[in-house]
Structure 1
Amino acid sequence: MTERTWGARPLQDGRWGFDIWAPAAKTVSLVLDGQERAMTGTDGWWSVQTSAAPGLAYSFRIDGTDRPDPAARAQVNGVDGPSLTVDAGGFDWRGDGAGDWAGRPFDEAVILEIHVGSFTPEGTFAAAAQRLPELASLGITMIELMPVSQFQGRWGWGYDGVLIRAPHPAYGTPDDMRAFVRAAQEQGIAVILDLVMNHFGPFGNYIPSYAPDFYSSVPTPWGDGIAFERAEVRGFFRQAALGWLDEYRLDGFRLDAVHQIRDGSEQHFMHELLHAIHAADRGRPIHLICEDERNLPDLRDAGYDAEWNDDWHNVLHVALTGETQGYYERYGDDPFADLAHTMARGQADEGQDKGDHGARGAPAGHLPWTAFINSNHTHDQIGNRPHGDRLLSLVGDDTGRVIHAALLLMPFTPMLFQGEEIGSTAPFPFFCDPPDDRMRDAVRKGRRKELGALGYDLSDMPDPCGPTAMDMACPYPAPDPDRAARWAALTRDLLTLRRGRIVPLLRTGDTGPGEVSRPCAKAFRARWGFAGGAIEMDLALGSPVGEALDRADFTLGNTATDPFAISVRITA
C-alpha cells in the first residue's frame, strides 16, 4: 500500500496536492487563497488536488474550524494562522562553490552547537552565515543547529516546536535557512539539525483536536507521548526528516531524546528511519547522531554514527567542581575513577551496579571512538543552571584551556558550544516566550521549584520569560578581544594538529579499548592504539602526572609539576 503524504506538495503543471490525517473529523475542506475546496475522506485521510502556486495562504477547515497544516513549511503569521505553500525546488544551490557539495566524512567532524537566535546579536540565519568563514578558519567542520522548528512566541530554545517542518520565522524564511546551509557548505562546513520527534510544545499544537490517535497514553517528561506504533504517525515524522534532508540539503541530524520515541517494539521506528535515510544516494554522507540517556550501543551497532556522550561531561564536571546535585549524584563517589573508565572505554556507565544509583547502560568499548560525541558542556548542562553558567566560568581559564585541549585531542568526536572556541564565559540561561501572563508565571514558578530543590542559589536568576535572557546568551563579540584571540589561536592550533595527525590515525582503525592509568589520584596517563600508531596523553586535573612525556606534539603547562597541565604525543 502506498504511503499517504502529509501536507502540501507541488505536483505537475501548476497542480498541488493537499493531505491531512484527521480521523476524528466529520468534514474537512481546504481553504486556499481565500477559496474553500472540498476534500475527500478515506480511512481518516482527507485529500484534494487543485491549482496552486508558491506563496499562497491555506488552512484545513476541520469541522468548521480553520487549522494550520501540521506539515507546513512556513506560516503567514505565527503558529495559529494559515500556512503558506512553499516550493523548495526553486532555490539556487550553486552559490560560490558548494553546488556539487559532497559532504564530509564523519571522522573529520569537529562540531559546534549553535542556537540561531542567540548566535549573533541579530539572531538570524543571515547574520549567522557571516560568522562561518571565521569558524572554518579555526577548523570547525560541522555545525549542529539547535532545533529550528517553529514554536509559539518570539524566543525559545526550540525544543517546544509545533510545526516540525517550518523554520522559526524570527530566524528567517525557508530560503534564508537554505542560504545559510549553502554558505556553510561553501566554507567546507557540514550542517546537521537537532530534530525533536518525541513530543510537541505546549502552545499552538492543534493535532489532538482532530487526530487524538496521534498520541499514546504514556507521557514524556515534556508533554504527551506520541503513538509511534501507528503507521500514520511514523510516516509523519519520517517524511519530516527526509524533507529536511532533501529540501535543505542538510548533512544529517542530532535526534533528541530517542529513548522517549516509543513504539512498543525494539525501537522499530528508529530502525525504519535509518533505513529510509540510507535508501537514497544523495551524493553526500548523511550523519545520524542520537541523544539516548540509556547508554546502550544498540542504535550505533545498527548504523547510527554516534551518540551524545553526557558521561564525559558529567564526570568531568563533578571531578572539577565537586558538585553532586541532580544527575551528577551518581558520579559523586569516585569521579576520577569514572573519568578514567570514560577515557578508556568511551562512557562511564556500561551496566555496572552502582549500588543506590543502580545500573545503567551496556558495554560500548567495541564501538569506534568517533561513535562518542564528547563535550565539556552543551546547552543542556549550561541552561539547566539558574544563571546559565558555563563550566569555564566555574573552573577558570587555566583549567579551562587544559580540558579544551584534552577534548580536541582525544580520539572521540569533539563538540563545542557556541563561543567555546574563543573561551566565552557568556551564560546560556533557559528562555522561552509563553503566550500569556498565566503561563509565564507558571514557567517562572516551575523553574524556581525545580532548581531550588537541587540547592542552587536562585538570587538574581534571569527571568526565563524575559527577552534579556536570550540577549545575554550571545557570546559575540567577545568583551575582551585579546583574550578571545588567544583562545581562538589555541583552538586553531589544536584543530590543525587534529586534522593533520589524529584524523589520519582514526582512519587506520583502533585496536581496542584505551589504556588509562592514574599515577596520582587526579592525574591520568592514557594511550589509544590504532593500526597506524597511537595517541598518548598525560593529563593533570588537580595533581601532577609525575613525569613529563618526552617528544610531545603538544604541551600546555608542565605535567611533571603543574596540577593542571596536558601533554600529547602522536605516533604513526
Structure 2
Amino acid sequence: MSTARVWAPRPATVAVQIDGVRHPMTPGEGGWWEGPDLPPGARYGFLLDDDPTPRPDPRGRRLPDGVHGLSQAALPRLAPLDWPGRELRDGVIYELHVGTFTPEGTLDAAVARLGHLVDLGIDFVELLPVNAFNGTHNWGYDGVAWFAVHEAYGGPDAYAGFVAACHARGLGVIQDVVYNHLGPSGNYLPLYGPYLRDQAANTWGQEVELSHAEVRRYILDNARMWFEEYGVDGLRLDAVHALRDTSDEHILRTLSRETDDLSRRLERPLTLIAESDLNDPVMFRPRHEGGHGLTAQWSDDYHHAAHVALTGETAGYYADFEPLTALGRVATRGFFHAGTWSTFRERTHGVPLDDDVEAWRLVTCLQNHDQIGNRAAGDRLSASLSPRRQAIGAVLAVLTPSTPMLFMGEEWGASTPWQFFTSHPEPDLGRATAEGRFAEFEKMGWNRDVVPDPQDPATFQRSKLAWDELAHEPHRRLLAQYRDLIALRSREPDLRSPRLGDLSAEIDEHERHVTFVRGRIRIRLNLGDATWRPEGEEEALFATSDDVSGNPLMLPPDSALVSRTIE
C-alpha cells in the first residue's frame, strides 16, 4: 500500500480526497506533504488551498477517467528480473505509434503483431510517447501526466504486459519520453509548484524549470520508473536541445549517471538516446571526458541526405543536401553539418566527429514519425518513389553504418499516410491547433485544402496501417528485401559497428553513382539514367532486382548491389 504524498510548495494548505472523503495532510520539509495510506484501487486527488476540485497526483500511475479526473492508487510495481537486457550496439530499432499500429490502437493489439517484428529481424521496439494526454488520440507529445500510461492504449497493466511480451520474444523496448515541455490541456503541475519557467518558452510551450532540485528529481524519478517498474530497456529523449539547463551538472549528465548506477544494480544494460538538433558529440561523449555520457543520439543529417538523393527534393532544410556528395559525407563522417554553414539556420552549425567514434552511436533512418508527419500531407516515400527506388531506400535504411531505425510500415512500403492528428476536446484549442497547422503550411506555399485537419477523426483513421497490404505486390517484395537486408547486416561483421575512420565512399556526381566501402564489402547505388558497369567481378550478397549482377558487375538505372570483393 502506498501513502498519499505530494510536493506542493505553492499552496498554503493541502488535503487529499480518497473515494470522496477529505483527509488533511501534514506539511513536511522542502514543500512535501504527507497523508494517509492509499488503498489499492482507490480514486484520489489533492485539494489545494480553497479549491474544491481535487487535482490528480503529479506522480500518479493511472488516470482511468483522463487527465482532468482523479488518480487511481495501485500497489508498487517492480518489473521481473529474469530479462538479461539488450545492448544497443548492432541492434535494429522499429519505431511505432500505438494508436495507429493496429486497427484497435491498443497495446494488447500491438502484442499480436510482435511476431511480424521478430520475423523481420528487429531488435528493439521504440514506442512514441504513451504518457497520459487529453483527448483520445494524438502523437503523444502533448502529455501532461508523465507517470501515467494513456488509458485508451490500455493503461499501466497493458503497458507492463506489452513490455513482458516483447521480452518473451527477445525484443527490447525503448520508450520515447518528453521532458522539455508539457501539453496545453490538463497540466496541473503549476498549481503545485514551480515546474515551469514563467518567462521562457520553447517551440512547444513553457520551458521546464531545470534549476529546481525537485523538478529535476521529478524527471529523474520518471526515467527510473520506466526502467525499474516496467522493465524498459531504453529511453529516447525528445528534443534535448530544448532542455535549457544552467545548473552545475546538466540534467542529461545527471540522468546518465543515475541510469548507469541503476543498470549496475539491475544487472542489465540500459540505453539513453538523445534526439538532438545540435550535431554535437557531447551527447554520447563519456562523462569523464566532459560529455553527458548518453548511449547514442539521433542524426537527422543522414535522413536528409538519403531523402534528397532518392527524391530530388531540395526545399527548406534539404537545400544543403542537394549534392550527392552529402550522402557520402553523412555515411562516412556521421554529421553533414560539422562546423559548416547551414543555409536553413543561417549560421555555422555542428561539431566534427573524431575517427574513433563508433558509428552505432548515431541512430539514423530513412523515415520516422517527424519526417513523415510534419510533411503537409503526411505522405510516405511510397507515395512518390517507384518500387525500384524504394528498394534502394531499403539498402540505405538498413545498411547504414549507424544504428538503423525503421518507421512502422516502412518495411512494406505502406500506402497509408501518417498525418498530424489531435483530438483536443476543448473547441477553442482544437480550432487554434488546426488554424496554426494551416497557417504554417500556407507560409510555405501550400494550399490549405491539401493539409488535413488534425482535429478531423478521419485524419487519425487514415494514418492507421493497413496490414492486408502485406499479402500483395509490391508490398510483399519490399518486405522480403527489408528482411533479407536485416539478416545480411546481422551475419556480416563488416556491416556492423565500424569506426568512422574505417569508412569511405566514392561518389560520381555526374553519373550519380555511389559506392560505400565497408571492409571487403561494397554497397553500390546507381541513381543515374544509364547502366553502370564497374570493372571486376565480386560475390553478390544482395541485389535490389534480378537485372543486377555481381559477376560481371552491372547495375541498371535505379538499382543497388551489395557484394564482397573476391580475394
Residue type of the partner of 1:497?
L
CA contact (8 A) 2:323 2:509 kept: no
Distance 1:496 1:355, change over 3 A: closer
Shift of 1:355: 6.2
Q: Deviations over 1:194-225 (max 9, x none)?
A: 00000000111011233245425320100001
Give the equivalent residue in structure 1 for 2:289.
none
For the residue of structure 2 that corresponds to 1:185, the secondary structure is: helix
The alignment status of 1:119 with 2:101, answered yes or no, reads yes
Structure 2 counterparts to residues 127-276 of structure 1, below 5 A: 127-212=109-194, 214-215=196-197, 217-265=199-247, 268-276=250-258
The alignment status of 1:516 with 2:505, answered yes or no, reads yes
Distance of 1:166 and 1:256 partners within structure 2 = 18
Structure 2 counterparts to residues 421-436 of structure 1, below 5 A: 421-436=411-426
Q: Deviations over 1:302-334 (max 9, x none)?
A: 332211111111122223333333332343xx3
Q: Deviations over 1:286-309 (max 9, x none)?
A: 111110001100011133221111
Of residues 388, 395, 404, the one that matches 1:414 is: 404
Shift of 1:431: 0.3
CA contact (8 A) 2:208 2:243 kept: yes
Distance 1:252 1:523, change over 3 A: same
For the residue of structure 2 that corresponds to 1:89, the secondary structure is: coil
Of residues 50, 53, 65, the one that matches 1:77 is: 65
Give the equivalent residue in structure 2 for 1:96.
none
Distance of 1:505 and 1:477 partners within structure 2 = 30
Distance of 1:466 and 1:511 partners within structure 2 = 46
Structure 2 counterparts to residues 270-289 of structure 1, below 5 A: 270-280=252-262, 281=264, 282-289=266-273
For the residue of structure 2 that corresponds to 1:109, the secondary structure is: coil
Q: Deviations over 1:385-435 (max 9, x none)?
A: 221101221222110111102221232111111111222121000001112
Structure 2 counterparts to residues 285-324 of structure 1, below 5 A: 285-302=269-286, 303-324=293-314
Q: Deviations over 1:111-161 (max 9, x none)?
A: 110000000000000000000012101101110000000000011000000
Of residues 109, 115, 127, the one that matches 2:91 is: 109
The more displaced of 485-494 and 229-238 is: 485-494
Distance of 1:25 and 1:562 partners within structure 2 = 71
Residue type of the partner of 1:36?
R
Residue type of the partner of 1:518?
I
The more displaced of 372-381 and 41-50 is: 41-50
The alignment status of 1:388 with 2:370, answered yes or no, reads no
Distance of 2:379 and 2:148 partners within structure 1 = 31
Of residues 357, 366, 381, the one that matches 1:376 is: 366
What fraction of aligned residue pairs are identical, expressed as a percent? 36
Distance 1:485 1:23, change over 3 A: same
Shift of 1:245: 0.9
Distance 1:90 1:202, change over 3 A: same
Distance of 2:247 and 2:72 partners within structure 1 = 37
TM-score relative to the length of structure 1: 0.90
What is the aligned-residue RMSD (CA, Å)? 2.2
Give the equivalent residue in structure 1 for 2:489.
498
Give the equivalent residue in structure 2 for 1:38.
24
Q: Deviations over 1:81-120 (max 9, x none)?
A: 11011224377x5xxxxx7211222123111100000000
Distance 1:567 1:203, change over 3 A: same
Residue type of the partner of 1:490?
Q
For the residue of structure 2 that corresponds to 1:491, the secondary structure is: helix
Distance of 2:467 and 2:505 partners within structure 1 = 39
Unaligned runs of 5+ in 1: 1-13, 94-98
Distance of 1:82 and 1:265 partners within structure 2 = 34
Give the equivalent residue in structure 1 for 2:38.
52
Give the equivalent residue in structure 2 for 1:547.
534
For the residue of structure 2 that corresponds to 1:439, the secondary structure is: helix
Shift of 1:191: 0.5
CA contact (8 A) 1:143 1:192 kept: yes
Distance of 1:83 and 1:111 partners within structure 2 = 33
Shift of 1:187: 0.9
For the residue of structure 1 that corresponds to 2:160, the secondary structure is: helix
Distance 1:449 1:347, change over 3 A: same
Distance of 2:59 and 2:336 partners within structure 1 = 40
Give the equivalent residue in structure 1 for 2:352.
363
Residue type of the partner of 1:564?
D
Distance of 1:44 and 1:306 partners within structure 2 = 35
TM-score relative to the length of structure 2: 0.91
CA contact (8 A) 1:307 1:372 kept: yes
Shift of 1:18: 2.6
Distance of 2:394 and 2:315 partners within structure 1 = 24
Shift of 1:440: 1.6
Distance of 1:469 and 1:169 partners within structure 2 = 21
Of residues 564, 567, 572, the one that matches 2:561 is: 567
Residue type of the partner of 1:547?
P
CA contact (8 A) 2:278 2:350 kept: yes
Give the equivalent residue in structure 2 for 1:89.
77
Unaligned runs of 5+ in 2: 287-292
CA contact (8 A) 1:406 1:566 kept: no
Residue type of the partner of 1:138?
L
Shift of 1:480: 6.2
CA contact (8 A) 1:28 1:46 kept: no
For the residue of structure 1 that corresponds to 2:85, the secondary structure is: coil
For the residue of structure 2 that corresponds to 1:568, the secondary structure is: strand
